[in-house]
A and B are shown apart, each in its own frame.
Chain A
């Protein structure tokens, strides 16, 4: 099953500008927040369908 999960913030605790795509709960790719990126377009469509990404893991 395809889901998404927020990436953890960086060492300065600034939020990530990408999101993980998960397949069967394993990370398969890291997608930047770029409207021209087709993987990001697919993520936005997934969210528009009423889904919510998992929160980032604690680091």
Chain B
């Protein structure tokens, strides 16, 4: 069949694409490399999603959950484990995702424009009322507060907010923080302001903000988060699992957890009886030189014998590999002998983070 009609609107630079239109990574909460239940601030939960602030006399936990609306299989769940009904001025609980500058470079932030972007998501909360969702640039000097309403308790509802692209401020379009999106479930007066315009503020919400912590055991689920160009929310951008995982690996990678002896993509060479160094090959090129964290113990293995190691140094770090060397606590190594690196048990983890 011959192509006879081209919709010129779909060719414009402001067109809403039909694929890879969602600038949020892991909006459907399917990737969960950390597999963690998070109860402290500044901690990542599902991939790319960070618990930003937990400032309250109550307590909450964040974790991936299989409760989801039709078309989705996972959500991010917040559970109130200790209520705080009296909201103080400095109380704040929010979670967020920073979108890398490269991934919003086409939107025109900080330039003269009449563009819009639209954020849509599915939410299910046992606490009805008004909630804040805010957007900010890298240094939080430009902030836009928007709100949505949970109408029915414990019912999945899809929400949409459309925001004009900011014409002022400094917006980074490289591998730094591009735009941050934060969802607020509790906020005191220090974080409440006016919705509906860009400004210099630290606000997350308005004075109408609901308090999820009013009731012990309250729950809040969210999934299907999409941020796209234009003023219309379109259908969720379902990406293949492997593709979504690959997008996440740019920011976080982990080894271990499959067996008692998981092999790590590493080859080391002994220097003397206590010193060993080698190359750790990353699973994918990362956004920036990553930070190393590890839990539990590991072994350098020369096939015949394993030598325990409890402390590493990662240096000479690049975007796709780095030198990993001992930092003490290892003995029995033979100089100039090659060594593999394995976990010592199923709880051992070696993790790289280049999160925003």
Contacts and interface: CB of A to CB of B under 8 A. Distances in A.
Contact of A31 (B272, B275, B291): B291
| A8, A16, A30, A40 — most chain B CB neighbours (10 Å) | A30
B231 interface: no
Given A36-B175, A37-B354, A18 B315 contact: yes
B328 A59 contact: yes
A10 B315 contact: yes
B290 A37 contact: yes
**Majority-rule SS of A interface residues:** loop
Interface residues of A, number: 22
Contacts, number: 69
A44 interface: no
| B271, B293, B313 — most chain A CB neighbours (10 Å) | B313
Given A11-B277, A16-B313, A34-B289, A39 B353 contact: yes
Interface string A9-41: 011000011100000000111111110111110
B293 A8 contact: no
B159 interface: no
Contacts of A7: 313, 315, 327
A10 B271 CA distance: 10
A57 interface: yes
Interface of A: 7-8, 10-11, 16-18, 27-34, 36-40, 57, 59
5 contacts: A7-B327, A8-B313, A11-B271, A30-B313, A30-B314
Interface of B: 175-176, 271-272, 275, 277, 287-293, 311-317, 322-323, 325, 327-328, 353-356
